[in-house]
């Protein structure tokens, strides 16, 4: 029985050490991965897009871009915004509609990217292209 306990003790200690080192590594990084959420809706003024971010570094300067809108020929640039002291941001942007074709809006997806200007860390989110259909 004593030999069995000794054989089991080695792997148990190794697993405990591994768990502790993983916990320590997580504590050292200390911050959750930055996130981006998008709400895109159609309005008489064009596509109304709300960008919501969390877990960014405090006061990070975040560049907001997106792949091309339906029927557009170029990517979209929404400029640079600042996260607050808690690493959170929310901003609404309105851009012109790009198509009259409902099918374009229903079939195409737009991918948004938020990138920390200092570190290059990125987060992405997607939205259907319906917000870019002219009313």
The pLDDT averaged over each successive group of 10 residues in the chain (135 residues) is: 52 45 45 95 96 98 97 96 98 96 92 97 97 94
Q: Compute the distance between CA of residue 60 and CA of residue 81 in angstroms, rounded to an integer.
A: 8
Q: Which domain holds residue 18?
A: 1-30
Q: For residues 61 and 5, state if they share a domain.
A: no
**Same domain membership, residue 10 and residue 76:** no
Look at residue 104 in the predicted model and tell me its pLDDT. Answer: 87
How buried is 2 (Cβ within 10 angstroms: 0-12 exposed, 13-18 middle, 19+ buried)? exposed
Residue 7: what pLDDT? 57
Entry pTM: 0.77
Number of domains in the chain: 2
Looking at the structure, tell me whether residues 19 and 77 fall in a common domain. Answer: no
Write down the pLDDT at residue 28.
Answer: 47
Distance of CA 67 to the CA centre of its chain: 14
């Amino acid at each position: 029985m004593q030999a069995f306990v000794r054989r089991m003790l080695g792997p148990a200690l190794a697993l405990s050490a591994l768990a502790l080192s993983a916990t320590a590594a997580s504590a050292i990084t200390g911050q959750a991965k930055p996130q981006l959420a998008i709400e895109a809706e159609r309005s008489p003024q064009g596509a109304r897009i709300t960008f919501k971010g969390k877990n960014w570094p405090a006061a990070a300067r975040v560049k907001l871009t997106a792949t091309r809108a339906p029927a557009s020929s170029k990517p979209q640039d929404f400029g640079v915004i600042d996260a607050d002291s808690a690493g959170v941001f929310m901003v609404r942007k309105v851009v012109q509609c790009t198509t009259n074709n409902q099918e374009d809006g229903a079939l195409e997806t737009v991918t948004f990217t938020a990138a920390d200007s200092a570190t290059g860390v990125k987060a992405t989110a997607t939205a259907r292209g319906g917000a870019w259909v002219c009313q």
